[in-house]
Structure 1
């Protein structure tokens, strides 16, 4: 009688479906969250590079580059991500460059995450005045 009961697998399909479905749903959500985090990172890198290019022009200042980066970030992702943007001068090789640095939250659940955990920078060659 006990052996017959163990060999009978009636009713196991719904349980297997729930277990496998839950696992696949978690994997899908993890992949989507990773894609969102990479999208945010790529957008921040692009905005920092664009701000550096804008600040490196001969008739612009570092503040103009910072504002350009903030504007691009706020438009693409949201103003929460455009809070900590800074700019300065540096060198790359032996050439002077403008460096724009953006610190933003790392999205962990949707767009909510750890503040200041993601730091990216963009560089552009400084245009000389002649």
Structure 2
């Protein structure tokens, strides 16, 4: 009877299905996590670019650029991720032309959604625009 049970493959399809299902679910969650990360990165990049253009206007204070970027990030992401991303604005000079520029930089972390690990994914985005009106 023991020999017969060793040769019998009844139930092998179920075991194969379970093993493949686990691997496919892990792959699906990995793809979804990458998509969430790139979505968050694009929201932060668009917010920094918009805030830099806003802060580059002649009559706008540079600090208003950081406030605008933070506001746009909070609109585009959920509160848990948006609260860990901070934006800063500064005036500077372009290294090549010497023209004044406004730079908005946003840095922070996005949490892993589909993993029990508490490993954050880092976002660091910078956008620079020529400042209007001053030379």
TM-score (normalizing by structure 1): 0.84
Residues 1:64 and 1:84: Cα distance change in structure 2 (over 3 Å): same
RMSD: 2.3
Aligned length: 128
Residues 1:52 and 1:5: Cα distance change in structure 2 (over 3 Å): same
More strand by share: 1
Q: Residues 1-130 of structure 1 correspond to what in structure 2 (within 5 A)?
A: 4-80=4-80, 81=82, 84-90=86-92, 91=94, 93-94=96-97, 95-109=99-113, 114=120, 117-129=122-134
Deviations 1:54-73 (A, max 9, x none): 00000101111111111111
**Where do 5+ consecutive residues of structure 2 fail to align?**
none
**Where do 5+ consecutive residues of structure 1 fail to align?**
none
| Deviation of the 1:45 alpha carbon | 0.5
| Deviation of the 1:105 alpha carbon | 1.1
TM-score (normalizing by structure 2): 0.81
d(CA) in 2 for partners of 1:16, 1:73: 44
Deviations 1:28-47 (A, max 9, x none): 00000000001000110000
